[in-house]
Structure 1
Amino acid sequence: MGDVLWTPPADVRERSRIGNYLRWLREHRGLDFADYDELWRWSVTDLDAFWRSIWDHFEVLAHTPPTATLTDRGMPGARWFPGATLNYAENVLRMPGRADDAPVVVAYGQTRAPATLTAAELREQVRRVAAGLRRLGVTAGDRVAAYAPNIPETYVLLLAASSLGAIFSSCAPEFGTRSVTDRWQQIEPKVLVAVDGYRYGEKPVDRRAEVAAIRAALPSLEHTVSIAYLDPAGDPATAPSAGAAGRTEAAPSAGGADRPKTLSWSELAADTDEPLTFTPVAFDHPLYVLYSSGTTGLPKPIVHGHGGILLEHLKMLALHHDLGPEDRFFWFTTTGWMMWNFLVSGPAVGATIVLFDGNPGHPDLGALWRLAGETGTTYFGTSAPFLLACRKAGLVPKETADLSALRGVGSTGAPLPAEGFTWVYETVGDDLQLQSLSGGTDVCTGFVGGVPLLAVHAGEIACRALGAKVEARSADGTPVVGELGELVITEPMPSMPVGFWNDADGIRYREAYFDLYPGVWRHGDWITINDRGGCVITGRSDATLNRGGVRIGTAEFYSVVEGLDEVVDSVVVHLEDAEGGAGELLLFVVLAEGLELDDALRKMICRELRTALSPRHVPDEIHQVRAVPRTLSAKKLEVPVKKILTGTPVDSAAARGALANPESLTAFATLAQTRHPRS
């Protein structure tokens, strides 16, 4: 595998949280593990002992204790910690190791000035907003929806709703009306909290029309709360022209009847004598609903529970990312991506979280690195495409920002190739730990990632996460090592979904993960696991290239093509031959500004692919496009492109509202028309 780029310090067990956990296991459980591999094998074999140790080691606050750890090991249907009652928000707001006056939320953005919340201020805001929700009639099981960006109010709302046992759901405000209503019509929220707009770079984006359309499409709504984010003077409760009640009339609903009046955020968070209390809920009580990308059909509403998310995030944030009270934890994300939910669990392990809302490339790609320096960020999380874009731009972050506090970099969202690893160590810092991880919205965590105990190899994910029984399976279903296979999970994890919303019999849930291998979770990625436990993800298994018996993931293809200075972005699809032939391999490239695709550039691309991969992976055709279709969380849409090119109408192949750039589909539809002209 790749070169070793970082090795753990000799005293890693004395300095890391996982080292502390190993000492705890020895003292309290009589267990001693020589290395990470031994610890991982125990964690996926003795599930009861491992997950109970996480509960006990982190001293989970519970109102009633569990009667068992795991009552049924089968999947789906595994039942964790029966009898326990607890509350996610209570455990997060405990903020171990944080004094009341210590910063716990640091928020930056392009819409308003930076802000900081101390531990005491965060608890106070949650207390007020929880009381405000209670005044609106919100109780356990009600849904509270946020059409809001990565700002303190959204975080406060999540904690306030979950403190009541209500169920939270967020959509980033760049989501269009259809994308939002496709999600929220399924869960029927009672309360909507929405911003009036936001600033992306220097561009103001007004969302009031979208909010009105969303309200009209959600008859379940009883209350709307407006955050005057883009235009603070528009807050009816604080503007000089506001009436005594400080409220504005809402537009009539589509049906003509008056909808309830809109409250301002300051009204929702008005002062009150009500104490901050936490409703005890069952371990699997719904905490929030996340959604699949929804690129084909309605997004799947994935329900996550209080206890499963709490335990999983305690494990990952502390033991894998090594976060604690001395840390400032940043991940570039929007509220429409599960990494936001992962980030905001940071205070549960004592870490301060750094929030950012805006354009990460404004005024240039150095912006987030400068933010890291200014905030003293110790762990900087982002996406693989962002790191590769910085590399392609020739950025040297350590020369443009003070990154002396930085000791960890996280990468997810797509596979990070070896050259991305090398760039981080050459230009960001040579003594930090780079952790590439992969998981998903489905579990709101990573299955595979890094850990302080293991070295970093270029292009390789260091390990399978504790408690995650990850295997690679060959076409006949047998586990393989050192070979490409389907990523499967063969033992249950507490953060696997409680279920899908409105799927009482569990049929949609089973179809999503357990159809191919009954009783085994199939995730839909290709993975290679080497003999030391390191992992390489090579793309979605439904988008794999397979010509003449040579199977290769798309990630390797993109690494070669996008390594060329001339290519900004690309997407590749393999159109199989119904007769069993080699089929057609089509490559689409976005070129650097001012460049046009010509025969010389086509030949260069083909030469690079032939040399780096194989002659079978030289494309039959290369086309220039203006943009590659991507989801709102920046994932490439290989499968919808493939469907369009084989004659599926655009609107059937992809839900435009789930795309960041729906106009990008036009070029593929045009090409499909020339390839498959309709009579």
Structure 2
Amino acid sequence: MSTANPSPLWRPTDEVVAQAQVTKFQAWAAEEHGAPSGGGYAALHRWSVDELDTFWKAVTEWFDVRFPTPYARVLGDRSMPGAQWFPGATVNYAEHALRAAETRADEPALLYVDETHEAVPVTWSDLRRQVGSLAAELRALGVRPGDRVSGYVPNIPQAVVALLATAAVGGVWTSCAPDFGARSVLDRFQQIEPVVLFTVDGYRYGGKEHDRRDVVAELRRELPTLRAVVHIPLLGTDAPEGALEWSSLTSADIEPVFEEVPFDHPLWVLYSSGTTGLPKAIVQSQGGILVEHLKQLGLHCDLGPEDRFFWYTSTGWMMWNFLVSGLLTGTTIVLYDGSPGYPDTGAQWRIAERTGATLYGTSAAYVMACRKAGVHPSRDFDLTRVRCVATTGSPLPPDGFRWLHDEVRDDLWIASVSGGTDVCSCFAGAVPTLPVYIGELQAPGLGTDLQSWDPSGKPLIDEVGELVVTNPMPSMPIRFWNDPDGSRYHDSYFDTYPGVWRHGDWITVTSRGSVVIHGRSDSTLNRQGVRMGSADIYEAVERLPEIRESLVIGVEQPDGGYWMPLFVHLAPGAVLDEALLDRIKRTIREQLSPRHVPDEVIEVPGVPHTLTGKRIEVPVKRLLQGAPMEKAVNVGSVDNVELLHFYEKLARERG
């Protein structure tokens, strides 16, 4: 790819740069900790990875992290896996998340929005009071530090209260969204053996009510470690036999008591998408998440008490945990529970308008859907308060950047970010003081030594390589659950380059310091020895109005050959005739290269996704290689299992 000198799509004004938290942090860190005072972000980043200990010490001081017991040193051991952060220190995540209640008691901490799009506030003082009440009740139920507390709940205020109360008592939180079926929830929760389960009776989505009482009954039967079940009557039903009522646990007026836990004490368990085998149960620490999220939200997202932070997400995705951490910076967070496109495709923009969101995060897929549907955000909504639109989930194509620039505002800060559930944060993305180039992430994050490596471990610039991180990040997993010897954790990230985190994405680090993500390296297309990312093909093909969505797979054949089919899900009324076939191939050839042109274009009834909306590439590849369904994919993690039978049948016919 060319990284000649294009002109940026957006540049921050001098005033924006001067006012940014990261600018003030750099000036302060230069005086207090020897950071470079000149050289802008690039110099600060270099210092942050060269002087890792000093950088993270500076972060804890800048954000006034409270350590009831002080730390002996910043990094006790920096080997990966197994880095030890702030050994000796104690801390509590929930205490920091509720600090703004001390100064802004009557202002909203949460704005809750359902499909009526009316925002309902929860003040800081009320949030703190509910957390205090619930934490006391959890302790009365015998929940002790290290016990697991689970939520089968949508993105509602009760979910935030339950997470914070769990963290306050030193418990370990984990959640699934109620659109997950019983099997996929049990695949996750049975691994960690929760003692308390918070559940709803159902949820509303797309204008319909979905009753989940049967699923809840099954979860209760299949989770023998449960000591208590708490009923949240979202649809207004009575608590089932033996369940506790949410309102009775959260009505007392009690100051929260925050357990002092070690820095590396587990905070929550997140899950990999689990498309093959059981989802990995990823454990992150109270202290590690606290300092990583303060850095990411406070410095990179530039959030503070004046901001309103809206990210479209569900409780089954790491972005929900990341959204809740907006409270750490004193920011009002917006919880939207409902369909991303109800009652029309413009729904999320309406919510951004009505809540006065200053940072609005969504998926690249939603941006492209708006572009296709002819949504005009700035014409139809007042988005003057939105400073930044951030996207994740998949790379934002160049057309997405242009559309946001043209249709929202030409002085809009567009932050395409990329990270992972594995670290519950971003490896690269938003920097308020840097320009934005079309199709690029602005820069690697502070303290994150992100590089692109070739197979022998040589760093590459302006060339495609593996995304690696060569030094530890505080939010890297402390372990996986049920992985006593650490082998599953090691094999997930550290088996390719010993001692170096390999994430499984293809990236380019440009000579300007920006980053381009090309797609997953484990489903990478490799033709005649040339590696290609699937994202580039999706971007080209899905510009065609006839193509609703596509999926490209590269299958190594037993005879040494290589088969690269492109599956297309057509828009209503479109037909895959010779003319469309020809346009698809010509588009790919002209925009990418002849090497990117697929061997076959096959019409499919739909593209399967994980429950968090990612296209399923690797399991489809395994099916096409002849693996049986139960070996190729964990069906509980798929949004529409019926679609997989199409690919299974195709494999049989070809076989």
Q: TM-score range by the shorter chain?
A: over 0.9
- 8 Å CA contact retained: 2:151, 2:159: yes
Q: Are 2:22 and 1:24 aligned?
A: no
Partner Cα distance (2:344, 2:17) in 1:
39
Partner Cα distance (2:140, 2:76) in 1:
39
Deviation at 1:112, TM superposition (A): 9.5
Partner Cα distance (2:393, 2:136) in 1:
37
Deviation at 1:132, TM superposition (A): 1.7
The alignment's TM-score, normalised by the length of structure 1, stands at 0.94
Partner in structure 2 of residue 529 of structure 1: 509
Q: 1:234-261 CA deviation, whole Å, 9 max, x = no partner? A: 245xxxxxxxxxxx42xxxxxxxxxxx1
Partner in structure 2 of residue 345 of structure 1: 325
Q: Are 2:227 and 1:222 aligned?
A: yes
Letter in 1 for 2:337: D
**How has the CA–CA distance of structure 1 residues 478 and 97 changed in structure 2, closer, same or farther, with 3 Å as cutoff?**
farther
Partner Cα distance (2:17, 2:117) in 1:
42
Q: Are 2:269 and 1:265 aligned?
A: no
Partner in structure 2 of residue 57 of structure 1: 62
Letter in 1 for 2:223: L
Partner Cα distance (1:5, 1:113) in 2:
34
- 8 Å CA contact retained: 2:33, 2:54: no
Q: 1:62-97 CA deviation, whole Å, 9 max, x = no partner? A: 111101000111111110000100100001111289
Of 533, 536, 549, which aligns to 1:553?
A: 533
Identical residues among aligned pairs (%): 52
Letter in 2 for 1:57: W
How many residue pairs get aligned? The number is 650
Partner Cα distance (2:95, 2:650) in 1:
55
- 8 Å CA contact retained: 2:129, 2:255: no
Partner in structure 1 of residue 300 of structure 2: 320
Letter in 1 for 2:645: T
Deviation at 1:146, TM superposition (A): 0.2
Deviation at 1:625, TM superposition (A): 1.0
- 8 Å CA contact retained: 1:197, 1:204: yes
Partner Cα distance (1:112, 1:187) in 2:
36
- 8 Å CA contact retained: 1:503, 1:509: yes
Partner in structure 2 of residue 488 of structure 1: 468
Structure 2: runs of 5 or more not aligned: none
Partner in structure 1 of residue 152 of structure 2: 147
Partner Cα distance (2:474, 2:404) in 1:
33
Partner in structure 2 of residue 187 of structure 1: 192
Could you say what secondary structure the match of 1:345 adopts?
helix
Letter in 1 for 2:375: L
Of 11, 15, 23, which aligns to 2:15?
A: 11
Partner Cα distance (2:458, 2:559) in 1:
28
Partner Cα distance (1:270, 1:450) in 2:
40
Partner Cα distance (1:112, 1:171) in 2:
23
Partner Cα distance (1:569, 1:10) in 2:
41
- 8 Å CA contact retained: 1:96, 1:348: no
Partner in structure 1 of residue 165 of structure 2: 160
Greater Cα offset, 77-86 or 17-26? 17-26
- 8 Å CA contact retained: 1:106, 1:116: yes
Q: Are 2:593 and 1:589 aligned?
A: no
Partner Cα distance (1:109, 1:482) in 2:
44
Of 631, 634, 641, which aligns to 1:652?
A: 631
Partner Cα distance (1:96, 1:235) in 2:
33
- 8 Å CA contact retained: 2:118, 2:354: no
Greater Cα offset, 156-165 or 101-110? 101-110
Moved over 6 A (4+): none
**How has the CA–CA distance of structure 1 residues 82 and 418 changed in structure 2, closer, same or farther, with 3 Å as cutoff?**
same
Partner Cα distance (1:113, 1:592) in 2:
32
Letter in 1 for 2:392: T
Could you say what secondary structure the match of 1:11 adopts?
helix
Structure 1: runs of 5 or more not aligned: 237-247, 250-260
Deviation at 1:104, TM superposition (A): 1.1
Letter in 1 for 2:639: A
Partner in structure 1 of residue 441 of structure 2: 461
Deviation at 1:517, TM superposition (A): 0.7
Letter in 2 for 1:270: S
Deviation at 1:59, TM superposition (A): 0.6
- 8 Å CA contact retained: 1:132, 1:270: no
Of 335, 351, 368, which aligns to 2:348?
A: 368
Where in structure 2 are the equivalents of 1:67-86 lying within 5 Å? 67-86=72-91
**How has the CA–CA distance of structure 1 residues 113 and 374 changed in structure 2, closer, same or farther, with 3 Å as cutoff?**
closer
Partner Cα distance (1:570, 1:529) in 2:
27
Partner in structure 2 of residue 210 of structure 1: 215
- 8 Å CA contact retained: 1:98, 1:325: no
- 8 Å CA contact retained: 1:334, 1:340: yes
Q: 1:284-308 CA deviation, whole Å, 9 max, x = no partner? A: 0000000001111000000010000
Q: Are 2:68 and 1:89 aligned?
A: no
Could you say what secondary structure the match of 2:439 adopts?
coil
**How has the CA–CA distance of structure 1 residues 204 and 3 changed in structure 2, closer, same or farther, with 3 Å as cutoff?**
farther
Deviation at 1:322, TM superposition (A): 0.6
Deviation at 1:547, TM superposition (A): 1.1
Deviation at 1:504, TM superposition (A): 2.5
* CA RMSD in angstroms, aligned pairs only: 1.4
- 8 Å CA contact retained: 1:96, 1:325: no
Q: Are 2:42 and 1:37 aligned?
A: yes
Where in structure 2 are the equivalents of 1:179-578 lying within 5 Å? 179-230=184-235, 232=236, 234-236=237-239, 248-249=240-241, 261-271=242-252, 274-578=254-558
Deviation at 1:477, TM superposition (A): 1.8
**How has the CA–CA distance of structure 1 residues 96 and 320 changed in structure 2, closer, same or farther, with 3 Å as cutoff?**
farther
Partner Cα distance (1:98, 1:110) in 2:
32
Q: 1:123-176 CA deviation, whole Å, 9 max, x = no partner? A: 011111111212211111111100000000000000000000000000000011
Deviation at 1:577, TM superposition (A): 3.4
- 8 Å CA contact retained: 2:119, 2:355: no
The alignment's TM-score, normalised by the length of structure 2, stands at 0.97
Partner in structure 2 of residue 109 of structure 1: 114
Deviation at 1:487, TM superposition (A): 0.4
Of 573, 590, 599, which aligns to 1:620?
A: 599
Letter in 1 for 2:422: D
Partner Cα distance (1:277, 1:111) in 2:
36
Letter in 2 for 1:18: V
Greater Cα offset, 494-503 or 571-580? 571-580
Deviation at 1:111, TM superposition (A): 7.8
- 8 Å CA contact retained: 1:96, 1:349: no
